[in-house]
Homo-oligomer: A and B are copies of this chain.
Amino acid sequence: MLKRSFEPAPGCWMILPVNSSVSTKDRILGAAELLFAQRGFEGASLRQLTTNAGVNLAAVNYHFGSKEKLVEEVFRRRLDALNESRLAALAQVAGAPETTLEDVLEAFIRPALDLSHDDSGALFMRVLARAFAEHDDTLRQFLSANYGHVMRQFTAEFARLLPQLSKQELYWRIDLVTGALTHAMSGFGMIQRKSDVSENAHREQTALHLIRFAVAGLSHP
């Protein structure tokens, strides 16, 4: 919207408004991520949200149209990048004869783990887990419509690597693995890393745990 108004003069000096060290829109999105994670979509009020963001109450409806649209935008901002990374990682291994289950799972888990690196990314994982548990039809349709193809591509690759499983059996196992991963990523930090372990080493260990667990759950006889 903001960018649209600059459209008549395309390219070049599109420095974006200089005063926006962090733009109002982004401040709202950041505050929304935090408050949605803490209080849920219904529990987070726009007044609390805009106060935390340091912007006017009306700014949400001005920039996003409604609270519901804001929720969608919070998801879109993160999931666009996340799923792009996942698909890129998957593309590097999909179809290759030497590809293992670990490789595919790594392509799925690693981008999410990287996202969880900074605090706000970890918060988003909580938001995502809440959304899963909500069983809200509007949100599920939005997620399915915009990102269903990612899940479908991964499923296809799993099916290739696990030809002995029936479709029914494969769906069951993927569903269970998804549950475990969502749960683990949203509770990230519950199993505290020891102070003598570096952040990087901790993430590496986490990825190992998740992948080994998922491999075992997917491929058991």
> Could you tell me which A residues sit within 8 Å of B by CB distance?
37-40, 42-43, 126, 129-130, 132-135, 168, 171-173, 175-184, 186-187, 190-191, 209-210, 212-213, 215-217, 220
Structural contact, B220 and A216, CB atoms closer than 8 A = yes
Can you show 23 pairs from A to B with CB atoms below 8 A apart?
A: A37-B135, A40-B40, A40-B42, A40-B134, A42-B42, A42-B43, A130-B133, A130-B134, A135-B187, A168-B191, A172-B209, A173-B213, A175-B184, A176-B180, A176-B183, A176-B184, A177-B180, A179-B183, A182-B183, A212-B220, A213-B220, A215-B220, A217-B217
Distance between A169 CB and nearest chain B CB, rounded to angstroms? 8
Residues of B within 8 A of A168 (CB): 191
* Chain B residues closer than 8 Å to A209, beta-carbon distance: 172, 176
Residues of B within 8 A of A181 (CB): 179
In whole angstroms, what is the CA distance A132 to B58 when docked? 33
Complex Cα distance A183/B177, Å? 9
Q: Is the interface of A mostly helix, strand, loop or mixed?
A: helix
* Chain B proximity of A56: nearest CB distance (Å): 24
Further 7 A-B residue pairs, CB within 8 A, beyond A40-B42, A42-B42? A37-B135, A38-B135, A133-B133, A175-B184, A178-B183, A180-B183, A217-B217
Across-interface contacts of A135 in B (CB, < 8 A) = 37-38, 126, 186-187
Distance in angstroms from A86 CB to nearest chain B CB is 19
**Chain B minimum-CB-distance residue to A129:** B133
CA distance A200 to B171 in the complex (A): 21
- Cα A168 to Cα B212 in complex, Å, equals 15
